[in-house]
Chains A and B, each alone.
Chain A
Amino acid sequence: MKAFADLYYRLDATTSSNAKLAALRDYFLLASAADAAWAVYFLAGGRPRQLVPTKLLRALTLSASQLPEWLFEESYHAVGDLAETMALLLPDASHTSNQGLASWVENNLLPLRGLPPETLSQQLLPLLLQLDQRSQLVCIKLITGSFRVGVSRLLVTRALAAVAGIDAKRIAQRLVGYTDLAARPTAAHYLKLIAPVHEDGETLSEGQPYPFFLAHPLQLPTEQLAAILGGPEDWQVEWKWDGIRAQLVKRDGQLWLWSRGEELVTERFPELHGLLQHLPDGTVLDGELVVWKQGQVQPFALLQQRLGRKTLNSKILQNLPVVLLAYDLLEWQGQDWREQAQSVRRTQLEEIVLSCQQPQLQISPLISGASWQALDKQRAASSSLGVEGFMLKRKDAHYGIGRTKDVGVWWKWKIDPYTADAVLIYAQTGHGRRASLYTDYTFAVWDSPQDNPERKLLPFAKAYSGLTDAEMREVDAIIRKTTLEKFGPVRSVTPTMVFELGFEGIALSSRHKSGIAVRFPRMLRWRQDKPVAEADTLQSLQALLPQAASPASQEVDES
């Protein structure tokens, strides 16, 4: 546990990738295979289900530190992180036992799940009191499932590659699905990750998918595209769908569906199970899961309603039917096709989808245009079609791994986001590096046009990102000066600040007071030039709603 806590602090202490890489390498070289197995699991984003309810952790800290609850809350708001607050308030041991991470997790932490609250407190506190402050923090983060330390999966992959002395791409492939293990990561799993490569190559076991290849955002004016990308004839152009990226794996008479988070989601999409009979073994498709009705993609908000359900009844399946829009072929007849050219993969993919003849499997259509300007004109239709813009894939591109810096073969050419000028009305202190600064804001628009003297501000979106550190400090200072009321960590302020918000989608919602939900709202800029009275209205927001999302046809019954 101590060694892993030390690794956490080394990783946390630096922003340099090389320093992080060195820290990871040092750890893996010294750790036992069993400990390393769990370390890879946590660092690559694996999260065991929460072992102890947060409420109980708070109660535990209160009784151990003998502080009143309100003072704990004040402390928590200053720190902005529950595990860190607890570690700062709990008494700590001056030195930590040498018990390894694997033993600590398997013998001490996992058995806590499901214990009755009283037994749990009795067992947990003595465990935590064996640890020094650093190890306490890391341990609590493992317990709450909030362990994050600014290490990308790619970096873990590179560190393992260096330790194992094999290609990072190979590690990436072996690592797919590692964090989804229903079984616990064991020494054997870890040794398999770093095992030498066999001459005869490796076949993926069972339903294992390939690492997803990701595109870079293209942020250039249209007239410069030809100079950077060459002519559009070298590129395969597709719509950029607003759904869930997924790989469909058919092997050994079985079907697996993986989301981009490498989560197995087969059970969530029963309508795709029929493809089992129609796809040959040794086939892996890459595509987008979307809700599809009347030949048109539906807003992401509707797909989200499906994801939120534990059980899918026939009404939902009927109202929100999902299809896979296939756009790439990664494996065919049991062969890895990722080194084939994009255009070759595409031709074969079209054949497969065509011969499959199932409505749940569709091909993502290609768009053609004589010039980038001509394509740009077609791209303008994106909003009305419910898509985010274009994907550009070089016709000779291989299917790479992750989002690598140097490869310019897959681009996302998105349309500009929707925008609205909104008024900051509530603020809350942030978490992590924004703790104690008011950085999380609620924004409102007017409920009616300016000619109504009675009009009110109606909250419609929360946003946290988009400001520079300097702007954040400035806004923080204004919030402190214009505070009207404090409700716990939240302050209401005199409306004085207007921000241009950008968002990716807009839909009707019966859950929001404004009747509108926006997707991925963020601050584009601070409109210091704009008086509050000139902020947008609910009416101007409603005008942005796509036709497909009109109330009559789309609002799904919340019952």
Chain B
Amino acid sequence: MDLIIARPEGLYCPPGDFYIDPWRPVDRAVITHGHGDHARTGHQHYLATAAGAGILRKRLGEHINLQTLEYGESLQHHGVNISLHPAGHVLGSAQVRVEYQGEVWVASGDYKVEPDGTCTPFESVRCHTFITESTFGLPIYRWQAQQQIFADINQWWQSNAEQNRASVLFCYAFGKAQRVLSGLNQHIGPILVHGAVEPLNQIYRQAGIALPLTHYVSEIEDKAQISKSLVLAPPSAQGTPWMKRFGDYSDAFASGWMQLRGTRRRRGVDRGFILSDHADWPGLQTAIKATGAERVFVTHGQIHPMVRWLCEQGLDAQAFVTEYGEEAAEAETDFAAESALSPEPSANTSSANQPAAEIATTTATTATHPHLRQKARRT
């Protein structure tokens, strides 16, 4: 029998009567990770990893009814054995393993096979049926090792700092920003963060992930230091008045989408760093093969090429219709929650003597910044 099927509310497990990453409110939801298209508000009961609990509470509210599992720990529900396994995507991200009457299915959510220091590395789980993403499911997507990308980022920062130009790096606030932070050479200059990024850094630090020291720009007393700094900001900050304080800066965007010249040029930044939290084409192939699964369902991204390719490789592959990261549009996706955050803590709570961590806690409650809307640009 099919242990997981696609329903209008989300992926559903009939014998267990629960959903995985549902996009409409349901009674029981197993959440793979905290990104907005997978973790949504309004469910009666949440099940997620212990490592991801902090993120989920931060994003969905402190009072959600959340039950957690350690990686590898299992739970029985209506005769279904449920366990969560590392997906290597972001802090707390998991693949969901479902076992019922000897049949094993794994729903991978989003995953990345290359290990990085900011979350538990991907672990392959053997199964009969594997549900995979396909965000970068074309052979044009092949990533370089992250050490190479970090070296490029540091070199770019260094050369800007030598010319007294701030380096503004746009990246998603949850996951990507912390991964970039972990690879920065903090001897080059101060690291400044946008108000959407710092609360998540805080959660990572609380989870025991070592990240370099970060500051808000308002805390920098010696303004000359700003021109030596690296600034981490969400993509939604591009073109906002907040950017003005960095003067004549160089900007860059860190994302797997930067692999294509067209996407990079559409972003209108000086540099594109190809750094993704998703598996590349070889990574997807390796991961799928390693599960030993004979049936594969593809949920989002390059669905049709992946399904056709897997069928040609002799697998029984099909598509699931989901509402995870819309095809191609993902490059433009921002999280509404982040766009609503102020770039800086509000004036009355900000003080140069106060440690960054304390200020950060006030940020989330700051009202929507009126200017935080991406401007439409003429082509």
Interface of A toward B, CB cutoff 8 Å: 12-15, 65, 67-68, 70-71, 74-75, 78-81, 84-85, 88-89, 430-437, 465, 467-473, 476-477, 480
B-side residues, CB < 8 A to A, are 138-140, 142, 259-263, 265-266, 268, 270-271, 302, 304-305, 308-309, 312, 326-329, 331-332, 374, 376-379
Closest-by-CB residue of A relative to B252 is: A13
Q: Which of B260, B266, B376 contacts A84 (CB 8 A)?
A: B260
User: What residue of chain B has the Cβ atom nearest to residue A470's Cβ?
Assistant: B376
Closest to B309 in A: A71
Which residue of B has the minimal Cβ distance to A433?
Answer: B265
Told that A74-B305, A434-B262 touch, could you supply 17 new A-B pairs with CB distance under 8 A? A12-B261, A12-B265, A13-B270, A75-B140, A78-B328, A85-B140, A88-B139, A432-B261, A432-B262, A432-B265, A436-B331, A437-B266, A465-B379, A469-B378, A470-B374, A470-B376, A471-B376
**Closest CB-CB distance, A478 to chain B, in whole Å?**
12
Chain B's closest residue to A486 (CB) is B304
Knowing A468-B376, A469-B377, A469-B379, the reply to whether A79 touches B268 (Cβ < 8 A) is: no
Interfacial chain B residues near A430, Cβ < 8 Å: 262
Contact yes or no, A79 B266, CB < 8 A: no
Closest 10 CB pairs of A and B: A435-B262, A470-B376, A433-B265, A88-B140, A468-B376, A436-B328, A74-B305, A433-B266, A75-B140, A433-B262
How far, in whole Å, are A122 and B328 apart by their CA atoms in the complex? 37
Q: Report the Cα distance A465→B379, complex, angstroms.
A: 8
Known: A13-B271, A15-B268, A477-B329. A81 touches B379 (CB 8 A): no
Q: Which residues of A lie under 8 Å from residue B271 when comparing CB positions? A: 13
CB of A176 to closest CB in B, whole Å: 30
B282 to chain A, nearest CB (A): 12
With both chains docked as a complex, state the minimum distance between the C-beta of A79 and any C-beta of chain B, in angstroms. Answer: 6
Give the residues in chain A near B138, CB-CB below 8 Å.
Answer: 71, 74-75, 78
CB of A15, distance to nearest CB on chain B (Å): 7
- Nearest B residue to A472, CB-CB: B379
Say whether A435 contacts B140, CB under 8 Å.
no
Report Cα–Cα, A476/B332, bound state, in Å.
Answer: 12
Most central of A12, A68, A75, A477 by chain B CB within 10 Å: A75
Closest to B377 in A: A469
User: Chain B contacts of A433 at CB under 8 A?
Assistant: 261-263, 265-266, 379
Contact between chains at B139 and A81 (CB < 8 Å): no
Tell me which residues across on chain B come within 8 A of A470, comparing CB atoms.
Answer: 374, 376-377
A84 touches B308 (CB 8 A): no
Across the interface, do A79 and B262 meet the contact criterion of CB distance under 8 Å? yes
Give min CB distance, B190 to chain A, whole Å.
25
Residues of chain B within 8 A of A437, CB atoms compared? 266, 328
Closest to B267 in A: A433
CA distance A452 to B55 in the complex (A): 60
Determine the residue in chain B with the shortest Cβ distance to A477.
Answer: B329
Q: Is the CB of A436 within 8 A of B262?
A: yes
Q: Please give the distance in Å from B188's CB to the nearest CB on chain A.
A: 20
**Contact A434:B266 (CB < 8 A) given known A75-B140, A471-B376:** yes
Contact of B378 among A78, A431, A468, A473 (CB under 8 A): A468
The listed residue with most B CB atoms (<10 A of its CB), out of A432, A433, A434, is A433
Q: With contacts A14-B270, A67-B139, A70-B308 known, is A473 near B265, CB below 8 A?
A: no
* Nearest CB in chain B: distance from A278 CB, A: 48
A65 to B140, CA, bound (A): 11
- Are B262 and A80 in contact (CB-based, < 8 A)? yes
CA distance A434 to B268 in the complex (A): 12
Residue of B nearest to A85 (CB): B140
- Report yes or no: B268 in contact with A84, Cβ–Cβ below 8 A: no
What's the nearest-Cβ distance from chain B to residue A223, in Å?
A: 27
Contact check: which of B142, B259, B261, B331 meets A81 at CB < 8 Å? B261
Q: How far is the CA of A506 from the CA of B248 in the complex (A)?
A: 47
Q: Please, which residues of chain B bring their CB within 8 A of the CB of A78?
A: 138, 140, 260, 302, 328
Q: How far is the CA of A116 from the CA of B61 in the complex (A)?
A: 68
Given contacts A79-B140, A469-B377, A477-B329, whether A71 and B305 have CB atoms under 8 Å apart is: yes
C-alpha spacing A136/B367, complex, angstroms: 50
Residues of chain B within 8 A (CB-CB) of A12 are 261, 265
In Å, the complex CA distance between A190 and B159 comes to: 32
Chain B nearest CB from A525 CB (Å) reads 13
In the complex formed, the residue of B with least CB distance to A436 is B328
Considering the complex, give the chain B residue whose CB is closest to the CB of A150. Answer: B265
Contacts of A471 in B (CB 8 A): 376
- Contact residues in A for B304 (Cβ distance below 8 Å): 74
Partner of A468 from the list B309, B329, B377 (CB cut-off 8 Å) is: B377
Q: Which residues of chain A come closer than 8 Å to B139, judged between CB atoms?
A: 65, 67, 71, 75, 88-89
